[in-house]
Amino acid sequence: MERLDLDLNAFSRRAGSMEVAHTTTALTRGLEPGERVLIRSGEEHLIATVRDISFDLTDTLYRLELGTTIARDDVELLLAEAAGPGSMEMSDVLGLLRDARHLSSRRSYLAAVTP
């Protein structure tokens, strides 16, 4: 998984996406549609998905959809990951665990409410 060091601004966070020029990154190769990348913004880490790629005369532009925030402990796992074809990526597993944790806490809250 590739890592991009970016400064996420408030607008990008609200919009849930951002455009990134290839020349502003340290990537050694181009990204592919649907590929997941790890974004580091200060001390925060997020998963993003390449949703669109466009080109101008001098650069390649990536539209990244911002996703799940990743705990610092899980960052090294994601960077070391080498998933084979057809396998679930670690970022998918972490996203599912986060969703399950959210649903579980919501369900326990609702169960505590009595009519």
Residue with tokens 């074809």: 85
Structure-model confidence comparison of residues 23 and 109, the more confident one: 23
The candidate with the shortest Cα–Cα distance to 2, out of 89, 71, 108, is 89
User: Looking at the 3D structure of the chain, how many domains does it have?
Assistant: 1
pLDDT tens digits for 8-26? 988 888 899 999 999 999 9
pLDDT tens digits for 41-100? 988 899 999 999 999 999 999 999 998 888 877 777 777 754 444 555 666 667 777 777
The pTM score is 0.66
Q: Helix 72-80 vs helix 90-112: angle between axes, to the nearest 10 degrees?
A: 150
CB 95 within 8 A of CB 67: yes
List all residues 6 or more positions away from 65 whose beta carbon is below 8 Å from its beta carbon.
16, 17, 48, 49, 51
Query: Which residue range(s) make up the domain with 35?
Result: 2-112
